[in-house]
Structure 1
């Protein structure tokens, strides 16, 4: 029996760590409170619906068509039904998270990923900085191309392992992957699901205005890299305990002590890189998404286990053990989705959108564009789907922007920036809450960590909107 098999079979359950001080708010408690607030809102906000037409397979809102509809608020019992509906609707992402945990547990048992990351991370020198810059650049590109969005959850555990090998905190590990991805997603240079669809709804040529978005993308990525490197430098200089490594990949998962990669482990590293390359290719050319990535993780786990000489039964047990370790991070996605379901079933989303549009009408061009940005961010709390939000907002904001002397391109850009900016602190985002639950980071602690970057991103958004209005960003 090889070392990997003996290691897996010798796993002992560790007791849960004692908590000191006040216990952070559970994401499940936070989301349940928001769910109850949404139910109450359905009894307070008058229900209504826009008329809709279908064009090119997309349901479009008819501006000015809001009409009251008969009905009542969501009943308390239906709130729990919404929870079940949210879990079912979020099944692809939930299983992606679970299978991520299973695959990474097998990879942990081989020791390959841990040893490779330990080799890449030099906690005392410039190699760490180079690693951070390269990973930030890579994941921002994957985000801006739309290759990695919801599936970013699958890569966050790798960031946690990397942070642990560098002696950094879990916030740094999660932030390195998540913030880098959304620094790119914020602009969506060639993202067909957000930018492509939104421009099509506004009647614009697909991916027009690319040069302007590239400039915004560079600003977001540079700000993110500077933020991450500054956090690392602060930790190194101060030696603060808050910056210390706090491994959170399920602490009952099998671990291996870092050492030099042997032949079997090099093969495992090759398998991992090959699987990721295949997924990136499939996402770019064949529109692969969560389902295909789930399959990829199964293949990765089986192939890596066999290459390491781990017995089939041990591979299966380790995989299931890893899945169990991420249940907390997986089910939170369905909780977040339930809030959107309650707002939709209560028929109050359309009245909220119509109210916001009414507030924008008296404003000048720059103020209106900034208000569209803020409105899109606010609406994204209720409609977590970027494409779904665009289908609601653009048919209303596009003609409104015309009357306020805003170009269609500027209206689109304001909406896209609003949708992107809020993702990194949106409490109803299933992806964010899954990342935090998986990493063991409380929502409040995450806000404290990411706040300086959010201020910088907000400044970039406002500057970009003002510049776009000033130059009459086009083609029209």
Structure 2
């Protein structure tokens, strides 16, 4: 092969591009491995309280140094994957379940049915569609999988003579606002609760209230913009979409079979919540239950055994990227624990934070997670890295672990809708042909309002000492 052929096959890229999430996490792993040679080793004494291991404040002492070698670095990746196996399969099986449900057409038909039944009731239509997508995000049904639905949002915006920003707002943005509240989200809350060693999906009532607050603000802000355009199309940031009288994309029969599938899924998830409280089900139970939900949904949807199997595996395959990042992120913790520098880091962070009241500390955790999400825009990966640091830190400064989880999920969730490092955001904007700068200009005021509301909710959680139940 000639040099010219080589140049054509591997063209030089002069344009800088943002490193992939895996690259960033691996760089973090390299930095932590290097730090084991310079950061003093140390350990806290720990005690078991109600079956949960907690750090004893003021018990930090020096320990024998054990820096990590190059082989230790790569062994940590293997160990991280094995240690995170339960969480990895939880994410994979969730992907399989939701792929089966989506492939039956039940979700799309349900949404289009809501659109069809609310023609002429613009506010109610915007509110209902936004709420449906938000619920999808809150239960983990719509994260990356929301991208194809943005096209439906475009069709709806066109029918209402609105613009493409509204299309993204009522689909992608609604789903990720719900994702931030995540009262039944296996990818963030489920993983964080597992790491925090508190009952799975505990504190759900407060999260449902938070969901209602954040989604209500989002509906208000979106509808305010819609009314602005309806009264004066020239106020649109994008220009209104050209209306089409009859759009075939808004036509889909909402059959009894679709209704049974959605009803089965809703009842199954409600039963899971009951089982968590009544039978102390864990993430392992949830992973197993996802298989059951997916199989039954596929049978109701009329899939034969081969189609059902391949569809479930296709859904698992789509989430391999997000699932394995948990294991890689866990490797960072493995290196820090083996070298005994994790407690040193927690001790260094706790000293200045102890000077602040718990409310400001909780808000600080929210801000730190919001910033960190720019570099690692993966809820599961961020949980795997941040929660092992935040949990002992929360114990040290007297913050309930539930509040620490809440600060993480708000910080991770809300910022997904504005950072250009968020793959689902950029893909959704591409589907709707919305430039990121115009979206950021529209969303930034809402982001600030939602962030302020999240801080108020965190303050309330601190005042009522939101517990594990």
CA distance in 2 between counterparts of 1:163 and 1:268 reads 21
2:57 corresponds to which of 60, 63, 70? 63
For 1:397, the equivalent position in structure 2 comes to 397
Candidates 223, 245, 260, aligned match of 2:252:
260
Q: Deviations over 1:361-404 (max 9, x none)?
A: 555x5xx7414542576499787489856651344213xxxxxx
CA contact (8 A) 1:117 1:162 kept: no
Q: Contact 1:58–1:391 at 8 Å: present in 2 too?
A: no
Q: 1:342 to 1:107 in 2, by over 3 A?
A: same
For residues 12-62 of structure 1, what are the alpha-carbon distances to aligned partners after superposition, in whole Å with 9 as ceiling and x for unaligned?
A: xxxxxxx9x865532222222222222223333222111111121111211
CA distance in 2, matches of 1:465, 1:304: 37
Structure 1: where are the runs of 5+ without partners?
A: 1-18, 201-205, 244-255, 399-407
Match of 1:424 in 2: 413
Contact 2:42 2:62 in 1 (8 A): yes
2:88 is matched with which residue?
94
Shift of 1:296: 4.1
1:358: which partner in 2?
351
Q: CA RMSD in A?
A: 5.1
Matched, 1:72 2:69: no
Aligned to 2:151: 164
Secondary structure, in 3 states, of the residue corresponding to 1:59? strand
2 CA distance for matches of 1:166 and 1:397?
Answer: 45
Q: SS of the counterpart of 2:37?
A: helix
1:460 shift after superposition: 3.5
Counterparts of residues 69-468 of structure 1 (less than 5 Å) = 69-121=63-115, 125-135=122-132, 138=135, 148=139, 152=140, 154-156=141-143, 159-167=146-154, 173-183=171-181, 219-226=213-220, 238=236, 240=238, 259-261=251-253, 265-286=255-276, 287-361=280-354, 365=357, 369-371=359-361, 373-374=363-364, 378=368, 384=384, 391-398=391-398, 415=404, 418-424=407-413, 436=423, 452-460=445-453
2:379 maps to none
SS in 2 for 1:354: helix
Structure 2: distance between partners of 1:51 and 1:371: 23
Question: In structure 2, how many angstroms separate the alpha carbons of the residues matched to 1:215 and 1:314?
Answer: 39
| Secondary structure in structure 2 of the residue aligned to 1:53 | strand
**What is the aligned partner in structure 2 of residue 39 from structure 1?**
33
Distance 1:359 1:316 in 2: 53
Q: Deviations over 1:112-131 (max 9, x none)?
A: 33333233346994454122
Q: Deviations over 1:420-460 (max 9, x none)?
A: 43233799xxxx9x995799579xx7995975555334434
**C-alpha distance 474-320 of structure 1, shift in aligned 2 (>3 A):** closer
Alpha-carbon contact 2:40-2:344 (below 8 Å) kept: yes
In structure 2, which of residues 37, 48, 54 is the aligned counterpart of residue 54 of structure 1? 48
C-alpha separation between the residues in 2 aligned to 1:37 and 1:235?
50
Asked whether the 8 Å contact 1:47–1:71 carries over to 2, the reply is yes
Count of paired positions: 398
> Structure 2 regions of 5+ residues with no counterpart?
1-12, 155-163, 242-247, 373-381, 430-435
* Aligned position for 2:7: none
**CA gap 1:376/1:39 in 2 versus in 1, 3 angstroms:** farther
Q: CA deviation at 1:179?
A: 2.3
**How far 1:278 moved relative to its partner?**
1.6
Q: State the TM-score, normalizing by the size of structure 1.
A: 0.64
CA distance in 2, matches of 1:192, 1:316: 25
Q: Which secondary structure does the structure 2 equivalent of 1:72 belong to?
A: coil
Task: Tell me the TM-score normalized by structure 2.
Answer: 0.65
Q: Distance in 1 between matches of 2:92 and 2:136?
A: 21
What SS does the aligned partner of 2:143 have? Answer: helix
The one-character-per-residue Cα deviations of 1:220-241 (angstroms, maximum 9, x if unpaired) are 4444444565787899964749
